[in-house]
Amino acid sequence: KAGVTQTPRYLIKTRGQQVTLSCSPISGHRSVSWYQQTPGQGLQFLFEYFSETQRNKGNFPGRFSGRQFSNSRSEMNVSTLELGDSALYLCASSLAGIGGYTFGSGTRLTVV
Amino acid sequence: GQQVMQIPQYQHVQEGEDFTTYCNSSTTLSNIQWYKQRPGGHPVFLIQLVKSGEVKKQKRLTFQFGEAKKNSSLHITATQTTDVGTYFCAGPPREDSNDYKLSFGAGTTVTVRA
């Protein structure tokens, strides 16, 4: 079966711009989580969606937002980009948020 | 909130040697998961342990869940160059909680000397 697909793989944006990242989970998986990974901070939880509802949110500013569609696909948006937002953004899906997660290859965002 | 800690942060191993990495949670876990991330890659699910004291093996990897369900370990025997990467443990929310955040430890980055 197809894995978790994240698009785009790479992005270069300028400070102050906004960006939208996309994630298509494994078919049948209704839970989608987003993580930010940086060398110094490891995997930081952003938010988790299940059946179009955000069930939990990490400690990130309101510039970070997300949503999930009825087909379980998810998007995350970062507005007013800052240099510190440069990171690998990972999406992970699971059946219901409990059990092993399958990660996508990530979107590497560089803010210049 | 729940915190998951891993030690050591870095592990430099001679090929053929054994090593262990440890994971400790500030709260009791419903289960513990382990992931491996190769350099330049993304985390890949390795295993999930659910029962207190549970031990599972995958070839040269042995995973253990503590009796109190607050700690876990990963032991690798006869390390090979293919074991290079960062190993993360992750504590999912308790089944009776409303917290759906999978908390990851900082990881143990393993390098192997041939």
At A84, phi and psi to the nearest 5? -70, -5
pLDDT of residue A42: 85
Query: Looking at the partner chain, which of A43, A48, A58 has a beta carbon nearest the beta carbon of B88?
Result: A43
Sequence-distant (≥ 6) Cβ neighbours of residue B99 within 8 angstroms: A56, B1, B2, B93
Greater confidence (B62 vs B3) lies with B62
A55 touches chain B (CB under 8 A): yes
CA distance A48 to chain B (A): 7
Asked if A22 and A34 count as a contact pair (C-beta separation under 8 A), the reply is: no
pLDDT of residue B56: 98
pLDDT of residue A97: 65
pLDDT at A95 over 90: no
Average pLDDT over residues A52-56: 92
Quote the mean pLDDT of chain A: 94
Token output for A100: 């092993």
Confidence category of residue A99, pLDDT binned at 50, 70, 90 = confident
pLDDT of residue B96: 57
Token look-up 């970062």 returns: A78
At A88, phi and psi to the nearest 5? -95, 125
pLDDT of residue A39: 86
To test the contact with chain B by mutation, choose from A29, A91, A98 the residue with the greatest count of B C-beta atoms within 10 A, namely: A98
Cis peptide before A8 (omega within 30 of 0): yes
User: Are A50 and B100 an interchain contact pair (Cβ–Cβ within 8 Å)?
Assistant: yes
With b for 16 or more beta-carbon neighbours within 10 A and e for fewer, the A81-102 pattern comes to beeebbbbbbbbbbbebbbbbb
CA-nearest residue to B90 within chain A is A100
DSSP, res B55: E
User: Are B42 and A58 an interchain contact pair (Cβ–Cβ within 8 Å)?
Assistant: no
Tell which B residues from 1 to 40 touch A, by Cβ distance under 8 Å: 30, 33, 35
User: Are B105 and A55 an interchain contact pair (Cβ–Cβ within 8 Å)?
Assistant: no
B48 touches chain A (CB under 8 A): yes
pLDDT of residue A98: 67
Greater confidence (B25 vs A2) lies with B25
CA distance A9 to chain B (A): 12
Confidence category of residue B99, pLDDT binned at 50, 70, 90 = low
Confidence category of residue A17, pLDDT binned at 50, 70, 90 = very high
User: Are B42 and A48 an interchain contact pair (Cβ–Cβ within 8 Å)?
Assistant: no
What tens digit of pLDDT does each residue of B18-45 get?
999 999 998 888 889 999 999 999 999 9
The 10 Å Cβ neighbour count of residue B27 is: 16
Confidence category of residue A26, pLDDT binned at 50, 70, 90 = very high
User: Are B42 and A31 an interchain contact pair (Cβ–Cβ within 8 Å)?
Assistant: no
With b for 16 or more beta-carbon neighbours within 10 A and e for fewer, the B95-114 pattern comes to eeeebbbbbbbbbbbbebee
B102 touches chain A (CB under 8 A): yes
DSSP, res A100: -
